[in-house]
Amino acid sequence: MNRAEFLKIALAGSAVFATTRSFGFNKPAQAEGPFKLAPLPFDSGALEPHIDKATMEIHHGKHHKAYVDNLNKEMVKPENAKMAKMSIDDLVKSIDAKTPAPIRNNAGGHWNHTFFWNTIGPKGGGAPKGALAEAINKKFGSFDAFKVEWAKAAAGRFGSGWVWLIKTGNEVEITSTPNQDNPLMALAEKKGTPLMGLDVWEHAYYLKYQNRRPDYVTAAWNVYDWDKIGKNFA
């Protein structure tokens, strides 16, 4: 998708949301299936001015919803009956090179976004504490040094994908994945337990930051909830 097409879809999405709100229909219909789109754990405008409301509405209500709907469409196929009984965690961990692309992409998209929403929030910002802070300092030397390496990884992920801070044993490290892959997948080049992630697909930031990915990466430090991220490390 080129940027002109993205803006056209984004603006159309904004119009749809405005229309549905005016008639009181705030919750988009979901495709039937085992996987559900949970509401955002905060108001869509709560991350302003760092991440704008329109982006959050489209990101969650359009993009994330599409991953859930498309995943459910795959789950009704007889050959996927076993997968349909799995939790999203178990399904993602089972994904390997033989997994059909629609399942790999949409299961990854659903897991990644659900995880992301639950590591950010209006009470974000500041710095990690406790054991996580110690692990970051041990690995990178300081929190500021970690932020520099994180920014490099985000800038270095060509095209669409995610940047992750993962736990391996008692240590942490930064990695990135293409598209909607993540470090839990059996096919991941670098495996580990995700502690935090950043969506660097253009749909995550283009309305506000256009092609200025580094500005978005910097702004995201204001929304990371270190209490939640710290619990992922425990």
Give the residue numbers of the binding site. Answer: 59, 113, 199, 203
Question: What sections of 85-142 are H helices per DSSP?
Answer: 88-94, 101-117, 130-140
CA–CA separation, 196 and 132 (whole Å): 11
Residue type, 17: F
Alpha-carbon distance of 219 to 85, in angstroms, equals 39
Phi, psi of 161 (to 5 degrees): 165, -160
Binding residues for Mn(2+): 59, 113, 199, 203
Token pair of 172 as six digits: 């942490």
Distance CA 102, CA 179 (A): 12
Q: Contact 177/161 with Cβ under 8 angstroms? A: yes
